[in-house]
């Protein structure tokens, strides 16, 4: 498994495997305003989900 195949959003308790070269729907709960960090399993790919 390569690093970019796993999506982790720790604050939301989300850990999901992503298929290569395909879309995948990740359902999120209703979120409060704020910022939620996400990353791959090795934290090489990092991002931030911003909810306004």
Rounded-to-integer distance, Cα 43 and Cα 19, Å: 18
pTM: 0.85
Is there a domain that residue 39 lies in? Answer: yes
pLDDT at site 1: 61
pLDDT at site 2: 79
* Domain region containing 42: 3-18+30-51
Q: How many domains does the chain have?
A: 1
Rounded-to-integer distance, Cα 43 and Cα 7, Å: 10
- Tens place of pLDDT per residue across the chain (52 aa): 677 899 999 999 999 999 989 999 999 999 999 999 999 999 999 999 999 9
pLDDT at site 13: 97
Triad 9, 45, 4: Cα angle to 5°: 85
Is there a domain that residue 24 lies in? Answer: no
Is there a domain that residue 25 lies in? Answer: no
């Amino acid at each position: 498994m390569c690093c970019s195949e796993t999506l982790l959003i720790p604050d939301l308790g989300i850990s999901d495997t992503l298929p290569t070269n395909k879309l995948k729907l990740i359902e999120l709960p209703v979120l409060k305003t704020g910022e939620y960090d996400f990353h791959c399993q090795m934290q090489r790919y990092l991002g931030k989900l911003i909810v306004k």
